[in-house]
Structure formats: structure tokens, C-alpha cells
């Protein structure tokens, strides 16, 4: 029985060839290829907003928070049900991540709970596009307006998705994507920030290159800054030509990836809906390129089912361990929905190369175990 992977990169000859070209050209660092990837992303999204590529999604979040002025003494509200990257990016600025509950049906940030977390130090909110869903985002912007907060969207799961017909990234304050190995597209590792705020974009451009002012322009011309000024803390967070070359090929394949990911989810939904003992999330997948497929396994059966899948050489996952239960981010209050979901959530295999036959194997084990 072959191994069924929970997630995987889908890369091939096109990416190999693209990397070869960069190696032959002899300039691996940040240069023209990164500029072209940023342009390609802009065209793909159809946005006039600024696009800045960096070396991880975490770096994208960190730089965005820094650029909107988040630092020591500030608080940022963030759902506890997310990858620890969201939390780390906040604490990296010196600010405090304030964990918040989520909606039991979707895993999206619960704004009623968020309301309890606001105080004079609250400066921003970081909604997460959990399982690529962001249908409730309008509420976050109303909340932000009411409390005068900036919004940094963790859209690591959201690249290529739409909301009400609009591509994610085209609307909103500061939107961050991840291109790590298993996301909807990959650049090996990588990430991008999209924002309509020119000043924030310029700060991010400098900060990704150790704060060297306007170094981006030099590097895009194949040059370097030999006389320069630095006014702000920066980081070594830029993207390399090698990564961008992979990313550009992946972007060309995204529409194809999207078709298979959508088909996978439709099949899971069709075959698993109505089974007592599990509950699908209440997510409308029609405009989504689904990154993960989490569902709830009820009656304390999640761990047993996970083990049953493993015995049949099928990987599954739990997205995510609650951040407010980690030593570093411990809260002195409970977040009941996040804690319940942590006991129930199970993510099924989902990637662009998953076949219907493989899905049948997954589905039959779930049915055998629960029915
Ligand atoms: C992947 C991911 C990140 C971080 O992206 P990296 O590119 O791995 O640094 C942040 N938030 C969420 C929800 C993610 O899934």
C-alpha cells in the first residue's frame, strides 16, 4: 500500500529548468527574477497594489507588523487556532500576541471574543484565512475601524482564492501570503506582502534588505548600494532569484493545481457529508483554492481514526495546536472553541496530485471507523 501524503509540493521539469537558467546566468541572489515574480503576482491578482516578495510567510507577517509601527508595549489580537508563525511574527516585533477564540463552525476569528481582548494597547488585528476561508473578513474591517486598528491578514492559506468575486490581496490593509513547500504554490520557501499603502510598502522593501535605503532599486538593476543610509531595524528577509524562478513557474501552474484541489474537496464533501460522528466545516469552497481540508471527528474518536489512517499508510494532520496553550504564549483565560476544535480536528490528505483512488482509500477507512 503506497503512502498517501497529507500535503506535498508539486514541482517538476519546468522548475528544474528555471533554476538551471538562474544558475547559468550566475546571479543567485535578489535581482531581476524577483522583480519579475512580483510583477507576475501583480498581474495574476490583477491589482494595482504593491507586491513585495520575501523569504518566508513568517517574514512577510513580521515585516508588515513592523512597517505599520507595531513594537514593544503594543498588543495584536490573533486567533489561537493558527500556525505558530502568526504568533512568532508578532512577538518578534516586541509586541504581545493576544490569543482570541474562533467560530466553531469555520475556525475563523470570533469577533465577539475579540471584543473582550481590546484595550488601550491594542494596535492591530491579525485574522487568519483558516482553511482558505475569509468570507467573514468584512466584519474584521468593521471591528478594526471601530477600535482604530490596523489589519494584517495572515493569508498563508489564501493565495489564488477569491471572496465575492475579488482575488484575495486586491482588497484590505496588508495581506501576507506564504509560498512554503506545501502551500497552494511554492517558491521553495517564500512569501509576499500585498498592500495599497505606499509608505508601508516602501518600509517593507528597505526592511527586507537590512534596512538599506532603496537597495531594492539597485538590486533590480543588477547593482548594489555602496553608499547608503539605514534609519530603521532591518532583516535579511529578501527573496532570491532562485526562489523567484521556482515561484514564477508555479504561478503558471496554479490554475491547474486549483482544479485538482477543488475536485478533491468536492469529492470529500460528497462522500463524507451526512455521516454521524463527523462534521464538515461550514465553509463555502466555491471561490477557494483549498490549502487544507480539516473536519471535526466527534465523540472522542479523532485520535483513534488518525491511528487507523496511519496504519493504512495514510497521513493526516491537526491544524493547529492552540497557541495559547504553548509555554511562550500561555493565556490566563480559556478559549473554549479553540480547545474543543483541537480535540476534534482532523485534516485529510489534500494536494494537487492526490487521485480519486487515493481519496477512496481515505474515505473507506473513515467510513469503516465511524459507521
Ligand atoms: C504556512 C503558514 C505561515 C507561515 O508561512 P511560512 O512561509 O512557513 O513562514 C503562517 N501562517 C499560517 C496559517 C500558515 O499556514
Residue 189 · residue 57 · CB < 8 Å: no
Q: Which of 56, 78, 84, 85 to mutate to test the pocket of ligand 1 (most atoms within 8 A of CB)?
A: 85
Q: What is the distance between the alpha carbons of residues 237 and 225, in angstroms, rounded to a whole number?
A: 17
Which residues make beta-bridge pairs with 294? 347
Is 128 strand, coil or helix?
strand
Q: How does pLDDT run across 131-154, given as a tens digit for each residue?
A: 999 999 999 999 999 999 999 999
- Confidence (pTM): 0.98
Q: What is the distance between the alpha carbons of residues 12 and 5, in angstroms, rounded to a whole number?
A: 17
Q: How does pLDDT run across 255-282, given as a tens digit for each residue?
A: 999 999 999 999 999 999 999 999 999 9
Could you tell me which residues come within 8 angstroms of residue 249 by beta carbon, excluding any fewer than 6 positions away?
14, 15, 18
DSSP 28-54: -SSSHHHHHHHHHHHHHHT--SEEEEE
Ligand 1 neighbourhood includes 128 CB (under 6 angstroms): yes
Ligand 1 neighbourhood includes 132 CB (under 6 angstroms): no
Tell me the mean pLDDT in the region 147-170. 98
Q: What is the pLDDT of residue 225?
A: 84
Q: How does pLDDT run across 211-241, given as a tens digit for each residue?
A: 999 999 999 998 888 899 999 999 999 999 9
Strand 191-195 versus strand 50-54 pairing type: antiparallel
User: What's the grid cell of residue 181?
Assistant: 513547500
How many CB atoms within 10 Å of residue 145?
Answer: 10
Bond before 320 cis per omega within 30 degrees: yes
Q: How does pLDDT run across 88-110, given as a tens digit for each residue?
A: 999 999 999 999 999 999 999 99
Cα of 79 from ligand 1 centre, angstroms: 14
Residue-level length of the chain: 371
Amino acid at each position: 500500500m503506497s503512502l498517501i501524503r497529507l500535503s506535498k509540493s508539486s514541482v517538476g521539469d519546468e522548475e528544474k529548468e528555471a533554476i538551471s537558467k538562474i544558475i547559468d546566468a550566475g546571479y543567485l541572489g535578489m535581482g531581476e527574477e524577483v522583480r519579475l515574480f512580483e510583477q507576475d503576482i501583480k498581474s495574476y491578482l490583477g491589482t494595482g497594489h504593491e507586491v513585495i516578495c520575501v523569504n518566508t510567510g513568517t517574514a512577510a507577517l513580521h515585516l508588515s507588523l513592523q512597517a505599520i509601527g507595531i513594537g514593544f508595549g503594543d498588543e495584536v489580537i490573533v486567533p489561537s487556532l493558527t500556525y505558530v508563525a502568526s504568533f512568532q511574527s508578532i512577538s518578534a516585533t516586541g509586541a504581545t500576541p493576544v490569543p482570541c477564540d474562533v467560530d466553531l463552525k469555520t475556525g475563523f476569528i470570533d469577533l465577539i471574543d475579540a471584543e473582550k481582548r481590546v484595550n488601550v494597547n491594542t494596535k492591530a488585528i491579525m485574522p487568519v484565512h483558516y482553511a482558505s476561508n475569509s468570507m467573514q473578513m468584512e466584519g474584521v474591517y468593521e471591528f478594526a475601524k471601530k477600535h482604530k486598528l490596523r489589519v494584517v491578514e495572515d493569508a498563508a492559506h489564501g493565495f489564488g482564492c477569491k471572496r465575492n468575486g475579488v482575488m484575495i490581496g486586491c482588497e484590505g490593509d496588508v495581506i501576507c501570503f506564504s509560498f512554503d513547500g506545501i502551500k497552494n504554490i511554492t517558491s521553495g520557501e517564500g512569501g509576499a506582502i500585498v498592500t495599497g499603502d505606499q509608505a508601508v510598502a516602501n518600509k517593507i522593501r528597505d526592511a527586507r534588505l537590512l534596512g538599506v535605503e532603496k537597495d531594492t532599486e539597485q538590486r533590480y538593476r543588477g547593482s548594489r548600494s555602496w553608499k547608503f543610509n539605514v534609519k530603521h531595524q532591518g532583516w535579511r528577509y529578501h527573496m532570491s532569484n532562485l526562489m523567484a524562478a521556482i515561484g514564477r513557474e508555479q504561478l503558471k501552474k496554479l490554475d491547474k493545481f486549483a482544479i485538482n484541489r477543488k475536485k478533491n474537496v468536492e469529492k470529500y464533501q460528497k462522500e463524507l457529508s451526512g455521516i454521524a460522528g463527523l462534521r464538515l466545516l461550514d465553509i463555502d469552497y466555491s471561490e477557494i483554492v483549498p490549502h487544507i481540508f480539516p473536519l471535526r471527528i466527534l465523540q472522542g474518536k479523532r485520535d483513534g481514526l488518525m491511528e487507523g489512517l496511519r496504519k493504512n499508510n495514510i497521513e493526516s494532520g491537526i491544524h493547529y495546536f492552540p497557541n495559547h496553550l504553548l509555554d511562550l504564549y500561555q493565556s490566563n483565560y480559556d478559549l473554549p472553541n479553540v480547545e474543543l476544535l483541537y480535540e476534534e480536528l482532523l485534516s485529510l490528505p489534500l494536494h494537487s496530485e492526490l487521485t480519486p483512488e487515493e481519496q477512496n482509500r481515505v474515505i473507506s477507512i473513515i467510513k469503516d471507523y465511524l459507521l
